């Protein structure tokens, strides 16, 4: 007595429809897998091994046509075929990691880089440019930051274990003292703006604080980039840190959702546009 379709489904996780597909693609010989008495599918040990192998090869990425040709090609070399597949998968892995880095960066910043911002270029050139300049995983510090951000976003602080705390503290170890002062000062500006919410984001007092924040940041901009760092440019990059991004989710821990929206509205107003429009 062999193995039934139900057994294959329950024990191997390979469904009836998938078995029919294997038969349709001539990966399984129909006549040999039928019980001569009742015509039901009845698989032998050899059939089970073959079904398992087919499932695995398809999972690796081989097509039914490729698998079928393995047995019909007199010059077939399993080693050569698998070597080619490994190379193909490694290339796909590199591409996936590249796009994962892009996705994580876009998720955190809430901004999508495009050719108009980085200079006119073809998409392939843009991808190579972004691989070097817009990929969170491109350098060890960026990767550590993303790991720490994931911890902060995924777990409330009371659930952090020792490894989570170390992950976050490693980020602070990467920050020079003068950079820490800058970060704390910027955070202070954000706190002041959030606390001024009752005044309204277009209030002169609020806009004066935003202008002071802009001028403080401007002092840290390299001379060759200062002309580009206009109020609109400043607002465009700051607003996304408070609305619908990973940075926004982190900032909501400090200023609340309403506070983040108010900060974004105040900065957008300084930049010359209205988020409510």
Which of 40, 72, 104 is at the close of a domain? 72
Reported confidence tier of residue 242, pLDDT bands at 50, 70, 90? very high
Q: How many independent structural domains does the chain possess?
A: 3
Which of 72, 87, 110 is the endpoint of a domain?
72
195 and 154 belong to one structural domain: no
Q: How confident is the model at residue 229 (pLDDT cuts 50, 70, 90)?
A: very high
Q: Tell me what pLDDT residue 72 has.
A: 80
Kindly state the average pLDDT of the residues 131-152: 62
Judge whether 117 lies within some domain. Answer: no
Q: What is the pLDDT of residue 138?
A: 63
In this prediction the pTM is 0.60
**Percentage of the chain exceeding pLDDT 90:** 41
User: Is the confidence at residue 18, as pLDDT, over 70?
Assistant: yes
Mean pLDDT of the chain, nearest integer = 82
pLDDT confidence of residue 217: 94
Is 60 exceeded by the pLDDT of residue 197? Answer: yes
Q: What is the pLDDT of residue 206?
A: 96
Give the end-to-end CA distance of the chain in Å, rounded to a whole number: 73
Q: What is the mean pLDDT of residues 129-158?
A: 63
Same domain, 154 and 62: no
The whole-number pLDDT of residue 261 equals 95
- Last residue of one domain, picked from the residues 124, 154, 170: 170
Mean pLDDT, rounded, for 256-269: 96
Query: Angle CA(160)–CA(166)–CA(168) in degrees, nearest 5?
Result: 75
Residue 1 vs residue 9, higher pLDDT: 9
Query: Taking Cα atoms as reference points, which of 193, 191, 184, 195 lies closest to residue 270?
Result: 193
* Residue 180 sits in the same domain as residue 262: yes
Beta carbons within 8 Å of 262's beta carbon, 6+ residues apart? 193, 194, 197, 201
Rounded distance between C-alpha atoms, residue 157 and residue 164, angstroms: 9
Expressed as residue numbers, the domain containing 151 is 140-170
Q: What is the pLDDT of residues 70-99, one digit of tens each?
A: 878 878 888 899 999 999 999 998 888 777
Query: How many other β-carbons are positioned within 10 Å of the β-carbon of residue 269?
Result: 20
Residues 194 and 207 in one domain: yes
């Amino acid at each position: 007595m062999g193995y039934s379709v139900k057994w294959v489904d329950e024990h191997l996780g390979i469904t009836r429809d998938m078995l029919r597909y294997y038969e349709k693609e001539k990966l399984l010989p129909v006549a040999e897998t039928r019980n001569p008495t009742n015509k039901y599918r009845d698989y032998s040990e050899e059939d089970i091994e073959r079904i398992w192998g087919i499932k695995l090869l398809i999972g690796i990425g081989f097509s039914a046509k490729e698998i079928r040709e393995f047995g019909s090609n007199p010059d077939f070399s399993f080693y050569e075929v698998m070597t080619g597949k490994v190379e193909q998968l490694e290339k796909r892995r590199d591409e996936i990691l590249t796009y994962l880095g892009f996705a994580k960066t876009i998720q955190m910043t809430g901004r999508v880089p495009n050719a108009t911002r980085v200079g006119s270029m073809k998409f392939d050139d843009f991808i190579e440019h972004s691989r070097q300049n817009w990929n969170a995983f491109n350098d060890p510090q960026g990767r550590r930051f993303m790991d720490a951000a994931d911890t902060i976003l995924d777990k409330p602080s009371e659930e952090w274990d020792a490894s989570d705390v170390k992950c976050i503290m490693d980020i602070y170890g990467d920050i020079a003292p003068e950079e820490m002062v800058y970060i704390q000062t910027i955070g202070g500006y954000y706190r002041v703006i959030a606390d001024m919410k009752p005044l309204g984001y277009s209030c002169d007092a609020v806009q004066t604080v935003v202008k002071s924040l802009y001028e403080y940041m401007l002092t840290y901009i390299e001379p060759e980039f200062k002309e580009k760092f206009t109020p609109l440019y400043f607002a465009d990059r700051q607003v996304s840190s408070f609305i619908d991004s990973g940075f926004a989710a982190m900032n909501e821990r400090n200023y609340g959702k309403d506070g983040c929206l108010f900060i974004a509205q105040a900065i957008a107003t300084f930049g010359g546009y209205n988020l409510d429009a």
